[in-house]
Chain A
Amino acid sequence: MKREFVIGSESYDVLLNKALGEYHLDVGDRQLAIQAEEIGSGEYFIYVDGRKQRAFVAVDDENTYIHMEGKAVTIQRIDPFEKIMGGDGADGSGSSLLAPMPGTVISVNCEPGQQVSEGDVLMVIESMKLETTVAAPREGIVEQVNFSAGDTFDQKALLVSLQAEEE
């Protein structure tokens, strides 16, 4: 079965197989013989082609967090089939302006129904002690404004959306 594992900006397609009692992981054109032995709560010995590493692993709905070789790495898990299932082509037209990172709204400079041109400032947000402007990616009509000044938001929150473009 396939997974897409995302580490930072890199994405890795892997295929896991269990045959004759052994797990195999296909990474690119290489196949690894792998095994995990849980030695404590969230603590594992991971074996890859006979070599061993100790790892702490924690899992939530979206990510796997692994502490290994002295550092923690966050791996986002994507089921390619589920990705396709949910794929309705949203955001293709650049209609949704998502928060690049968590932060606070400083000011809202547009309202639903307003006609805007490309580059117009729709919102000013503050993240990491820096002000950033959220500008219209294209000409259009503001559909939704989801936050008011002073509101905080999480990463990928939908800040402003524009009405879908007519075909």
Chain B
Amino acid sequence: MQKIKKVLIANRGEIALRILRTLKAAGIPGVVMYHRVDRGAPAVREAEETYLIEGETPVAAYLDIENILAACRTTGANAVHPGYGFLAENAPFAKALAEADVIFIGPTADVIELMGDKVSARKFVEARGFPVAPSAIEEDDPATFVERVAKVGFPVLIKPAAGGGGKGMRVVYDGANLAEEVERGRREGERYFADGRLFAERFIENPRHIEVQVFGDQHGNYVHFWERECSIQRRFQKIIEETPSPALSPEQRQEICTAAVGIAEAVGYQGAGTVEFIYAPTGEFYFLEMNTRLQVEHPVTEMVTGYDLVYEQLRVAAGEALNYTQADITQTGHSIECRICAEDADADFAPAIGKLLKVREPVGPGIRVDSGVIEGQDVTTAFDPMLSKLIVYARDRQQCITRTQQALRDYVLLGVTTNTAYLDKILSHSDFISGDVHTGFLAEQADVLKQNLSQDTLDFLLSAAALTDEQLCNAVAEIPELYAAMGHWRN
């Protein structure tokens, strides 16, 4: 790894800290860049070297390629780890780094470009014989796009060609408002990705989201690290991921993983990537997209395979060859990841803000917390609402579920509304326990998943709230004892 002297972490939150930890363990100096709103973040505290960036908004600061190039020049970092989000899948960024002679820890710019565009990715994959769902691509002939979308068949999913993360996606169930929805989708695409091109495909009812972790080096070696099931989504965003998928038989698993490695090989993929599939209840699977970066949910893979994927990324980026074969990568036990988000699940997932007044992370066998926050930190809407990830490992799925539930219950996060109780509720659902879920599961079970407080719990809560209300207790103390004892007495 001599090629990599110093790594600039071009990200924030939990992933910045997670990357920093691997760097520290590997003895590679790391630089954490940060916007001033993140100055209290744990990664900034733990870093030996930090670099302050500026921008019109905090997000803009992290998205500013010039900031990062300047950071590399100033700190002498010769490699950049982009984490996920921000510039992780930005081809011009990868190019700019290459031009500045800085190693981008990720695939090459042209692979990012190819796979980053849903339309081109799909064409590429389809052309090489991998399964894709019926679709319509606006670019092919914008004039007939609406007609062609209608031909794909309803329900149809319309999404920005350049999109990701659920932004701007919409499902249309009939042709009545199609033109209008297409127009809205275009506007959102323009706003989020500065690219209004759309893409439509058949919406598969009750599909599962199954993805495969793939890896390639610069020497033509390709492997997979098995699959992850990410069907538990709210608003098209994953909140619980697990591996192995309870849906797959060993044969299906082999089939889907093999397809994924095939795609990686076809594009000449380098580093960590993820091939996402739509998995229909009937057993077919279709290529959805390829994420050319480290995924949020990569830790579950680490838990069952024992590999540190960030470390493997560093090795590949340093030009080293994979020093293991597919046969070496075994899937042992079960792992579940829960995304702890600052949001109110009972209020339509409205983002929550506030100061984290108390944080107490769960501990115990098989429990890993990748957190981007610490007590005293302000949670704002400047960034994604994800605060941390709880990753749990156990020998089997059943034990893993109960262990995760206990960890969620032990996870104290006060001052900002989070979804820990909601996640616990999902894990308690009999369909989740039996593995019978799909990407629409949360929306479908919304009523069942609402929090309810028993009379008994309510009594304790109100009592705790009253007794810790200093102003109230002071006012109560003002009442002479005799009068308090008489209560609301009237003669």
- Which residues does A use to contact B, with CB under 8 Å? 1, 3, 5, 7-8, 12, 14, 16-20, 23, 25, 27, 32, 34-36, 42, 44, 46-48, 53, 55-60, 64-75, 77, 79, 100-103, 106, 127-129, 131, 152, 154-155
Contacts and interface: CB of A to CB of B under 8 A. Distances in A.
A14 B466 contact: yes
Contact of B413 (A16, A47, A48, A72): A72
9 contacts: A17-B484, A18-B473, A23-B466, A48-B463, A68-B464, A69-B460, A74-B417, A128-B351, A155-B350
Q: Which 7 A-B pairs have the closest CB atoms?
A: A70-B409, A58-B357, A71-B421, A19-B485, A65-B414, A36-B467, A58-B414
A64 B166 CA distance: 34
A77 B473 CA distance: 13
Nearest to B350: A101
A64 B358 contact: no
A45 to B, nearest CB: 10
Nearest to B343: A128
Given A7-B453, A19-B485, A32-B463, A65 B415 contact: yes
A18 B484 contact: yes
B346, B410, B464, most chain A CB atoms within 10 A: B464
B479 A18 contact: yes
B327 interface: no
Contact of B476 (A12, A16, A74, A128): A16
Interface of B: 57, 166-168, 184, 188, 191, 235, 346-351, 353-355, 357-358, 360, 381-382, 408-410, 412-415, 417-418, 420-421, 424, 451, 453, 457-473, 475-477, 479, 481, 484-485, 487
A131 B459 contact: no
Given A1-B476, A73-B453, A152-B382, A8 B466 contact: no
Given A56-B414, A68-B457, A14 B462 contact: yes
B471 A79 contact: yes
B230 to A, nearest CB: 18
A36 B465 CA distance: 10
Contacts of B166: 129
B418 A16 contact: no
Contacts of B477: 18
B475 A58 contact: no
B412 A72 contact: yes
Contact of A66 (B351, B418, B464, B473): B464
B360 A56 contact: yes
Contact of A8 (B346, B408, B410, B462): B346
B464 A46 contact: yes
B457 A128 contact: no
Contacts of A77: 465, 469, 472
Nearest to B346: A8
A60 B417 contact: no
A149 to B, nearest CB: 11
A131 B420 CA distance: 27
B461 A59 contact: no
Nearest to B165: A129
A57 B424 contact: no
Contacts of B469: 3, 16, 59, 64, 77
A20 B487 CA distance: 12
A90 B351 CA distance: 26
B409 A71 contact: yes
Contacts of A65: 357-358, 414-415
A50 to B, nearest CB: 12
Given A73-B453, A101-B350, A152-B381, A34 B467 contact: yes
A124 to B, nearest CB: 10
A153 B75 CA distance: 35
Nearest to B375: A58
B278 to A, nearest CB: 21
A137 to B, nearest CB: 21
Contacts of A152: 57, 381-382
